[in-house]
Amino acid sequence: MRRVPLVLSAGACLLFAGVLASQTVPAANVQEVLVGELLPLTGNFASLGQQYLWAGQTVEDIVNNDYPDLTVPLGPGKGFPGLGGAALKLVVRDDQSRGDLARTLAEQLITVNKIHWLNGEGTSGNTSIIQPVVESFGIPMSCHPCASPTLTEKGLQWFWRTGPNDKTMVASVFTFLREWREQGGPTDLKTIALFTCDNLFCQDNRKIAAELAPKAGFQVVLDLTTKTGATTLASEVQRLQAANPDVLFLVQYPPETSIFQGDAKRAGWTPKIIATSNGAYSDQTWLEAQKKTNGGAGWLGRDPTAIDLVQDRPSWRKVNEIYKKYSRGQNMGELAMREITGMLWMADTINRAKSVEPAALAKAASETNMGPEQLIIDYKGVRFDKTHQNELATGVVTQVGWDGEKHTIWPWDLAKRANFKVLYPSPGWQERDTKPKPAN
């Protein structure tokens, strides 16, 4: 009878060893590295999701094919050399822009599809919903274009972000406005109105702007939050017009931004400065549409990279050519650039880990020290702080010129290189109508 506990203990040990063995995936056995791409491909945020999908397909292409002249991680050579040439395979799921569905799909990707890394969801709100799921399963996760500071401030063990957060980027706008006075800019800009939508992304921006505005010498004369999916903003424009701020800080999605433009034009109102942060300003289709109307001329906003200067980089041009294969000919917008930069870092991390074991991936991610020469955009590099936020991600300020393109106006050294004269004050509607349109 004494043998029974002995046999049971031995069996338990074997079982435990088997479980351990199954969790450690040696490099030689990895044929494909599975990356879950959980994206809003339909629903309210579909226009973002499709850009992230194209970005993901671009990175999959770069990793799996040989681009000898491409100076980005895993550009030359096929597959992951650190994993014996294993290929990158994206497992794409559409959460219809719904947080509840994103949560379910994240679980499915981890438990059914056995992904090694989860990239997504592309919007800060839905990413915050799936973070606890991924954290509980203990696999690496990233969302590079998500800008809400809270995503990393939670101090999660398994979440990384290479892109700058809203604090960095909104701070760029206010630093520009403050320093501009000393650099020969207008000295009579005293008041500001905040005009934001009501979701996590917009509200994070609003809170940061409300905190930074007084420090930059502005009095907040109006703070308006609108509904996402608004069908009219005429009353809001009335209130803005009545408050008459020198600077309008606007964070709205493209449909609401175009409604605002229509209502502001109808009211004949333009503040001296329209400053914005992400939303429509990051949307390539909105920017292209402005070229037909001059509607965006004079708008300034934060960007993660000096978009006019980065195009001179050969690696940027090459990556853009690959991106266009998937985007039906569209150029990379700044969101796509952020996503591609982040996913190439992820590929580099997997390659350095030489394993798809979560602990090895986490170690490699935390040990990242990537130089700017490996990036397609203007970050100073990739290196994470203790919250897994890239501390070398930077923000710049750009302004849309009469040519419909963005030009860098801050920081001053980059602005000097861009050699663009800031449009001030923001052109009135009549001037926009009468000037030649770049797209025509």
> Which of 335, 337, 306 shows the shortest CA–CA distance to 176?
306
**At its nearest, how many Å lie between other proteins and the CB of residue 99?**
16
Q: CA 119 to CA 346: how far, in whole Å?
A: 9
**At its nearest, how many Å lie between other proteins and the CB of residue 317?**
23
Backbone φ and ψ for 184, nearest 5 degrees, come out as: 90, 10
Looking at the DSSP assignment, which residues form a beta bridge with residue 384? Answer: 390
In the complex with other proteins, the residue whose CB is nearer, 60 or 283, is 283
Backbone φ and ψ for 369, nearest 5 degrees, come out as: -150, 80
- In 244-396, which ranges are continuous DSSP H helix? 254-267, 284-290, 307-310, 314-326, 334-353, 358-366
**At its nearest, how many Å lie between other proteins and the CB of residue 388?**
30
Question: What angle, rounded to 10 degrees, do the helices at 334-353 and 46-64 form?
Answer: 40
**At its nearest, how many Å lie between other proteins and the CB of residue 162?**
24
In the complex with other proteins, the residue whose CB is nearer, 136 or 238, is 238
**At its nearest, how many Å lie between other proteins and the CB of residue 332?**
14
**At its nearest, how many Å lie between other proteins and the CB of residue 148?**
18
Task: Compute the Cα dihedral for 307, 169, 214, 272 and give only its sign.
Answer: positive
In the complex with other proteins, the residue whose CB is nearer, 32 or 288, is 288
In the complex with other proteins, the residue whose CB is nearer, 70 or 197, is 197
In the complex with other proteins, the residue whose CB is nearer, 45 or 345, is 45
**At its nearest, how many Å lie between other proteins and the CB of residue 14?**
50
- Residue 338 CA: distances (Å) to CA of 164, 334, 414: 9, 6, 19
Which residues have C-beta within 8 Å of that of residue 12, sequence separation ≥ 6? none
In the complex with other proteins, the residue whose CB is nearer, 195 or 218, is 195
Residue where the block lists tokens 């970005």? 55
**At its nearest, how many Å lie between other proteins and the CB of residue 105?**
16
| Residues of the shown chain interacting with other proteins in the complex, contacts defined by CB under 8 A | 41-44, 46-47, 49-50, 198, 224-227, 229-236, 238-239, 242, 254-255, 258-259, 262, 265-268, 283, 285-286, 289, 292-293, 328, 429-430, 433
Q: Residue 434: exposed, middle, or buried by beta-carbon count in 10 A (0-12, 13-18, 19+)? A: exposed
In the complex with other proteins, the residue whose CB is nearer, 12 or 234, is 234
Q: CA 362 to CA 356: how far, in whole Å?
A: 10
Q: E-assigned strands of 144-278?
A: 159-160, 191-197, 219-226, 247-251, 273-277
In the complex with other proteins, the residue whose CB is nearer, 217 or 262, is 262
